């Protein structure tokens, strides 16, 4: 008896919208485009906007591209979790954070307390309101 090999199904081409504050996801956007998917890339930071020029198509307003996209990818926190959450609520496929993961990243005391709450040992830490207070 011969062996049978599963015939791979052809992948379905998707439209990916990458949203970045500081151009941290250029390599992945480029790679997804190389795999044959359609890609649009938004970079918020004026200083980083030229990152990836010539490699992936750019857009100046990511929100106007939401209807076009099959998948929206956020690469950072800094409030992006709330946007990602809303898009999920609207039925979009989203890769990225949530308001909870934003808080874990942006509020370090909260993050440390969450770790402790789940039995993970953390080193002693202290919050400071200023550089001077930290130096003292």
pTM of the model: 0.81
54 burial level (CB within 10 Å; 0-12, 13-18, 19+): exposed
Task: State the DSSP string of 53-106.
Answer: TTTS-B-S-GGGGTTT-SEEEE---TTHHHHHHHHHHTT-EEES--HHHHHHHH
**Residues β-bridged to residue 39:** 16
For the chain, the domains span: 15-116
pLDDT tens-digit map of 93-123: 999 999 999 998 888 899 999 999 999 999 9
pLDDT tens-digit map of 69-86: 999 999 976 789 999 999
- Name the architecture of domain 15-116: 3-Layer(aba) Sandwich (3.40)
pLDDT tens-digit map of 33-71: 999 999 999 999 999 999 999 999 999 999 999 999 999
């Amino acid at each position: 008896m011969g062996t049978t090999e599963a015939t791979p199904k052809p992948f379905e081409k998707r439209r990916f919208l990458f949203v970045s504050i500081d151009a941290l996801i250029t390599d992945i956007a480029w790679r997804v485009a190389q795999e044959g998917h359609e890609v649009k890339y938004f970079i918020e930071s004026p200083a980083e906007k030229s990152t990836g020029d010539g490699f992936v198509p750019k857009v100046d307003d990511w929100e106007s591209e939401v209807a076009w996209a099959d998948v929206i990818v956020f690469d950072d926190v800094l409030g992006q979790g709330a946007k990602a959450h809303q898009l999920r609520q609207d039925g979009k496929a989203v890769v990225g954070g949530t308001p909870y993961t934003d808080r874990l990243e942006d509020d370090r005391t909260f993050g440390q307390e969450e770790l402790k709450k789940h039995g993970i040992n953390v080193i002693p830490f202290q919050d400071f309101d200023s550089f001077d207070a930290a130096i003292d």
